[in-house]
Amino acid sequence: MNGKIYLFLLCFMAGSAFSEVAPGKDETFGFNLSRDVPYVAQKLDQSARLRTLDIYSPLSPDEVTEETELLPIILYVHGGGWAFGDKSDVNVKPHYFTAQGFGFVSMNYRLRWDYKVYDQVVDLVTAMGWLGRKVHEWGLDGRRIVLMGHASGGHLATLVTADSSYLEAESMDSGRIKAVISIDSSSYDIRRLMRELGSFVERRQHELIFTADEKVWDAASPITHVPSSTTLPPHALLYNPERQVSELQAKGFAKALTEAGVEVVMIPGSDSAPDRTDELIGVSGNLATVALIAFIRSQI
């Protein structure tokens, strides 16, 4: 299939019948929650605590039988500049996606400064491997994963799929990743950010994480690996339409993907709250959510 870039004109798609509201939690909880499930063997060190999952499923393990139809998974990678954040930073996403017939899994991973970005990518691959082996116990299908990441989490999600060496090192079938969703990442092309687009603060942050070595920048940039990739899943790139670095990075990455024959959807965040794109996913009336769920269903 020839790659195509689709820009969702959300006002046209959804019309004026939708109005955004503030995030709120459904106190009825239409899901089962298992917190702090380890995806690596537990050891007496801090890294074990950082390598756990929260699993939200419409079913509890007690309700799952051999006849249960397994549900696809949204695997969420939180943001936080590679050094901060937690798997609890999900807002209303679990409520929304479990109500839509998906399992939702949010993961912790080892954070900088004590670890490297490489360790974080390894954790992401390890978590997907664990899901393939174990998550059926929650009624979920580890062979149908939609990989979703916010900011630095979006960078990790796109890097692990663009650079096939990470999956190949673990003998993992990339076909289990049915789609990739990256939300407001500015790090698809780190060299461009450092040379052209980034503010002083953004450049300083990236230098602290990725050093001043341009070879490291290229190795850690998803866009670098796209031309040599042969089978990338469809991508949805959500971006802040009022933040130039977010929009230009998304457009540049989308161009590279489509030239490689990958289907790409670009989804602008809300005009009323452009800096809350991730936070508003799943909120009633959020237009980006309308486009996003249509994209996901087209791939599952």
CA distance 255 to 53: 33
Section 1-30 average pLDDT: 45
Q: Which residues contact 213 (CB under 8 A, 6 or more apart)?
A: none
In a domain, 263, yes or no: yes
In a domain, 101, yes or no: no
What does pLDDT average to over the chain? 88
Decide which of 114 and 295 is more confident: 295
Indicate if the pLDDT at residue 11 is higher than 50. Answer: no
Query: What is the per-residue pLDDT for 104?
Result: 98
In a domain, 276, yes or no: yes
Print the domain residue range for 164.
5-10+61-71+114-299
Q: Where are the beta strands (DSSP E) in 207-299?
A: 235-239, 264-268
First-to-last C-alpha distance (Å) of the chain: 17
Phi, psi of 233 (to 5 degrees): -75, 165
The amino acid present at 253, given as its one-letter code, is F
CA distance 125 to 134: 14
In a domain, 102, yes or no: no
Decide which of 67 and 238 is more confident: 238
Query: What is the per-residue pLDDT for 46?
Result: 59
* Residue in the block written with tokens 């490291």: 216
Section 270-289 average pLDDT: 90
Q: Is 59 helix (H, G, I), strand (E, B) or coil?
A: coil
Query: What is the per-residue pLDDT for 275?
Result: 85
pTM of structure: 0.90
Query: What is the per-residue pLDDT for 187?
Result: 97
CA distance 238 to 247: 9
In a domain, 34, yes or no: no
CATH code of residue 201:
3.40.50.1820
Q: Using 50, 70 and 90 to split pLDDT, how confident is the model at 12?
A: very low
In a domain, 24, yes or no: no
Indicate if the pLDDT at residue 217 is higher than 50. Answer: yes
213-217 — which CB contacts under 8 Å span 24+ positions? 217/190, 217/191
In a domain, 168, yes or no: yes
201: tokens are 């603060």
Least confident piece of the model among 30-39, 190-199, 271-280: 271-280
pLDDT in tens, 199-209: 899 999 999 99
How many separate domains does the chain show? 1
Q: Using 50, 70 and 90 to split pLDDT, how confident is the model at 218?
A: very high
Query: What is the per-residue pLDDT for 18?
Result: 34
pLDDT in tens, 40-71: 987 766 567 789 999 999 888 888 888 899 99
Is residue 217 within 8 Å of residue 194, measured between CB atoms?
A: yes
pLDDT in tens, 267-276: 999 877 888 9
In a domain, 29, yes or no: no
Query: What is the per-residue pLDDT for 23?
Result: 36
Q: Using 50, 70 and 90 to split pLDDT, how confident is the model at 28?
A: low
- Express as a percent the part of the chain with pLDDT over 90: 72
